[in-house]
Structure 1
Amino acid sequence: MTKIIFMGTPDFSVPILEAVHKEYEIDLVISQPDRPVGRKRVMTAPPVVAAAKELGISVYQPENVSKDGLETIEQMKPDLIITAAYGQLLSEAILQAPRLGAINVHASLLPKHRGGAPIHRSIIEGDEKTGVSIMYMEKTLDSGDVIAQKEVAILNVDNVGTLHDKLSTLGRDLLLEVLPSILNSTNDRTPQNHDEATFSPNISKNDEYIDFDRSARDVFNHIRGLNPFPGGYTKLDGKRLKLYNAKFTDEKTTEPAGKILEITEDGFMVATKDELLLITEVQPAGKKRIQAVDFINNNPNLVGLILGA
């Protein structure tokens, strides 16, 4: 009987875990430890852990799997390790432990967007398409041979949340499609062109700042590339204001970048480097997300103020 270890942590991994377990049965789930979440810092299990327990699968949550988990993995003598957004690099010893190797479901068309934030970066950088790659894992980050890929268009209405869900489903379906060939060692494998590799590191605090001194397209992509998590922000009267949604206007402007020029029934117009952008959803510091029109009702004197000043 095939022994499979699944490694994953966030919501992205859950549909993949559920689908593989339904078809093949998973012997062990390895995930990140429980972490404090929210303002009250309540210790919370990762989504994959909650899903695994619902499915009755044994769970292991080492702080450092390469340091603490090798013995557990070797004792199981797995045939295959499947990872999907696990969040830790695996040592060479762990990668060599399974008979058929370790494979990963990665949310980009490798070699583009290697790293921890491919979904965010693909939107922020204005890509017209992205996709998923099923790949063999190597010690170097996301550099292994590709087994299969499938692409999807990035639409103007997409944000990190919608694209996340599309790619999770796409990754699930593609993995199920190629797993039979992986398990009987008849699958394709194509080396990546490392000269074409780009990298998408995790989003930092600096990445969350929205700079309006760029084109409207760049600002628009930046806002939706952080929506719904972690959320991009600017400053208004010295206070942080998160920005979640915006719309193009195609109206040219020579006004200073970040200046609020007009109030409309949908939000407020802000100057960028070339055009006006309509901000439609925000979150004031310490409060909930609201429509921009509701924010305007509480702040009627916005016109003339500079975002980011």
Structure 2
Amino acid sequence: MTKIIFMGTPDFSVPILEAVHNEYNVDLVVSQPDRPVGRKRILTAPPVAAAAKKLGIPVYQPENVSKEGLEIITQLNPDLIITAAYGQLLSEKVLNIPRLGAINVHASLLPKHRGGAPIHRSIIEGDEKTGVSIMYMAKTLDSGDIIAQKEIPILDEDSVGTMHDKLSYLGRDLLLEVLPSILNDTNHRTPQNHEEATFSPNILKSDEYVDFNRKAREVFNQIRGLNPFPGGYTLLDGKRLKLYASKITNEQTTEPAGKIIEITVDGFMVATKDELLLITEVQPAGKKRIQAVDFINNNPSYVGLVLGE
């Protein structure tokens, strides 16, 4: 009987775990340790660990699986390790344990967007398409041979939230499609062109600040590329204002970048380097997300102020 270890942490990985377990039976789930969450800092299990417990799968949550988990993984003697957004690099010793190797479900069309934030970066950088890659894991980050890929378009209506869900299910379906050949050791593998590699590191605090002194399309991409997590922000009247949604207007402007120009039925217009951008959803400091039109109608004196000052 085939033995499978699944390694994953966030919501992205849950549908993939559930599908693999339903079809093949997962023997062990490895996930990140429980972490404090929310303002009350309540110790909370990561989504994959919580899902595994509901499925009745044993769960192992080491701080560093390559250092702490070598003996456990060796004793289990898995045929295959499957990872999906696990969040840790695996050592060569771990990668060499399974008979059929270790594979990863990665949310980009490798070799583009290697790293921890491929979904965010693909939207922020204005990519017209993205996808998922099933790949063999290697010592260097996201550099292993490709087993299969599938692409989908990135629409203007998409955000990190929508693309996250689309790619999770796309990765699930593609993995189920290729797993039989992987388990039979008859699948194809294609080396990546490392010269074409680009990197998408995790989002930093500095990436969250929205600078309106850029073209409207760039600002639009950044806002939706941070929605719903972690959320982009600017400053308004000295207070932080999170920006969650906007719309391209194609209306040219010569007003100072960041200036709130007018109120509309859908929100408020802000000048960028070339065009007006309609802000449609915001979150004032210490409050809940609301429609931008409600926010600005409650604060009409903000019209004429410049965001970021």
Q: For residue 286 of structure 1, give the secondary structure of its aligned residue in structure 2.
A: coil
C-alpha distance in 1, partners of 2:193/2:74? 32
One-letter code aligned to 2:132: V
Specify the alignment match of 1:297 in structure 2.
Answer: 297
One-letter code aligned to 2:112: K
> Following superposition of structure 1 onto structure 2, how do residues 181-192 of structure 1 map, counting pairs within 5 Å?
181-192=181-192
One-letter code aligned to 2:296: I
C-alpha distance in 2, partners of 1:257/1:70? 54
The CA deviation at 1:296 is 1.2
Runs of 4+ in 1 over 6 A off after TM superposition: none
Specify the alignment match of 1:110 in structure 2.
Answer: 110
Specify the alignment match of 2:233 in structure 1.
Answer: 233
Q: For residue 301 of structure 2, give the secondary structure of its aligned residue in structure 1.
A: coil
Structure 1: runs of 5+ lacking an equivalent: none
Specify the alignment match of 1:251 in structure 2.
Answer: 251
Specify the alignment match of 1:131 in structure 2.
Answer: 131
C-alpha distance in 1, partners of 2:229/2:203? 10
Structure 2: runs of 5+ lacking an equivalent: none
The CA deviation at 1:303 is 1.3
> Following superposition of structure 1 onto structure 2, how do residues 1-309 of structure 1 map, counting pairs within 5 Å?
1-309=1-309
Q: For residue 179 of structure 2, give the secondary structure of its aligned residue in structure 1.
A: helix
Q: For residue 296 of structure 1, give the secondary structure of its aligned residue in structure 2.
A: helix
C-alpha distance in 1, partners of 2:115/2:152? 19
One-letter code aligned to 1:211: D
The CA deviation at 1:278 is 0.4
Q: For residue 81 of structure 1, give the secondary structure of its aligned residue in structure 2.
A: strand
One-letter code aligned to 1:204: L
One-letter code aligned to 1:241: L
The CA deviation at 1:248 is 1.1
1:68-103 Cα offsets, whole Å, 9 max, x none, are 111110110000000000000111100001010000
C-alpha distance in 1, partners of 2:8/2:205? 24
Q: For residue 300 of structure 2, give the secondary structure of its aligned residue in structure 1.
A: coil
- TM-score, normalised by the number of residues in structure 1: 0.99
C-alpha distance in 1, partners of 2:91/2:257? 47
1:217-249 Cα offsets, whole Å, 9 max, x none, are 000000000000000000001111000000111
Q: For residue 157 of structure 2, give the secondary structure of its aligned residue in structure 1.
A: coil
Q: Identity rate of aligned residues, in percent?
A: 84
After superposition, the CA RMSD in angstroms is: 0.5
C-alpha distance in 2, partners of 1:143/1:90? 13
Aligned residues: 309
